[in-house]
Structure 1
Amino acid sequence: MKEYKMICVDDQLGIRILLNEIFKDEYEVVMADSGSKAINLVKDFQPDVVLLDVKLGDMNGADVLGTINSINSNIKTIVMTGYNDDESLKRVEKLKPHMIINKPFDVNDIRSKVKEILY
């Protein structure tokens, strides 16, 4: 069994596939394509880390992050965004995720950032 559990939340299938490929060998990874699925997974799967996109089809990433924090404030959160001065990003920053990374991200960079917050 793998030491850490991870949820990757993005409404783009390609990003979810890429994140799964990056992390599946080291972490127990599950995917969510919406904020509501991510919240249900957080409750059931109890992850150590969540990689969360700011823009989701059904919910704003800030709302998802706030809910994750209220369920379990010990879950490490990394927010991924393709937007720099967006209003939703400002809302996310107020919720104090462990890290914010810009898309497109470098594979080795995101891998090292996850290790940095978990170890």
Structure 2
Amino acid sequence: MTSYEATILVVDDEQEITELIALYLQKAGYEVYAADNGAHALRMAETLQPDLILLDVSLGRMDGIEVCQALRQGVCADVPILFLSCKSEDGDIVRALSEGGDDYITKPFSPSQLVARIQAHIRRRRTRERGSEEPASSLSFPGLDIDFHSMEVRLNGEPISLSVKEFELLSVMARSPKRVFPLEELYRRVWQTDSMGDTRTLMVHVSNLRKKLESDPSRPRWIQTVRGFGYRFCPAENCEEQTS
């Protein structure tokens, strides 16, 4: 019996692309299943409970965004979902990641880059499930409480709902208050791979995190931009700002 690294569901209505992706992933040791429309994808996800889903944005009647929304409400609530799309506009990326996507890869892409991204997401999820990535602890700041064991965050005593990637971003920065994280380093810490020069996925997740944490996202208090360098977590209201 063949032992696979993980099970991956590829959702794309272009058969040639699906077959090409499946070929590379199978060579990398993954078990691959395919769906060519949204309804089929939801049925297969329910049955397979895959370790990761590759999801094309453009699927016809039920597009990838709608499929992602439905997956997040079912058994794949915490399964990594990587969007594939020929659309590279920032608005498209923002929408995809805001609706539950963990990553966004623009077509055409390098097969080796795709495999590297998949490996990083699966490795990250398994490390988190084993509980070996971070000790069971918590951090408290004035108005903000983070529980790393339960992955719960409270803002002024009220729970806020964060995606896995949003929580991981907050965790990395909050464990090193006031430290400036360059974009590439922060990407590697959270996605466990290089950004390949495209950090837009990171910036969209930071934007989404700010919308949930900040009373005024345009003037962030918790997650600040240090122009020309990256981001930092500011634990106090009087934290000296280095942003514009």
One fold, TM greater than 0.5? yes
Q: Distance in 2 between matches of 1:59 and 1:97?
A: 16
Q: Which has the larger radius of gyration?
A: 2
Equivalent position amino acid for 2:47 in 1:
D
Aligned to 1:63: 66
Q: Distance in 2 between matches of 1:18 and 1:81?
A: 15
Aligned to 1:2: 4
Equivalent position amino acid for 1:83 in 2:
K
Aligned to 2:101: 97
Report deviation, 1:89: 4.5
User: Which structure carries more helix by proportion?
Assistant: 1
Aligned to 1:106: 110
Tell me which of 20, 23, 35 is aligned to 2:22. Answer: 20
Q: Distance in 1 between matches of 2:61 and 2:31?
A: 25
Aligned to 2:121: 117
8 A contact 2:69–2:100 mirrored in 1: no
Report deviation, 1:59: 1.0
Aligned to 2:214: none
8 A contact 1:76–1:117 mirrored in 2: yes
Tell me which of 29, 36, 40 is aligned to 1:37. Answer: 40
Q: Distance in 1 between matches of 2:80 and 2:65?
A: 15
8 A contact 1:62–1:88 mirrored in 2: no
Equivalent position amino acid for 2:120 in 1:
E
8 A contact 1:36–1:58 mirrored in 2: no
Give 5+ residue unaligned stretches, structure 1. Answer: none
Q: Secondary structure at the match of 1:101?
A: strand
Q: Distance in 2 between matches of 1:65 and 1:53?
A: 10
Q: Distance in 2 between matches of 1:53 and 1:89?
A: 12
8 A contact 1:78–1:101 mirrored in 2: yes
1:66-104 per-position Cα deviation (integer Å, ceiling 9, x unaligned): 111111212111000101238655432212311100000
Q: Distance in 2 between matches of 1:37 and 1:88?
A: 24
TM-score normalised by structure 2 residue count: 0.46
Q: Distance in 1 between matches of 2:89 and 2:63?
A: 15
Q: Secondary structure at the match of 2:81?
A: strand
Q: Distance in 2 between matches of 1:36 and 1:19?
A: 21
Equivalent position amino acid for 1:49 in 2:
L
Q: Distance in 1 between matches of 2:65 and 2:92?
A: 7
Q: Which has the higher contact order (CA 8 A, sep 6+)?
A: 1
Equivalent position amino acid for 2:8 in 1:
M
Report deviation, 1:44: 0.5
Change over 3 Å in CA distance of 1:88–1:62 after alignment to 2: farther
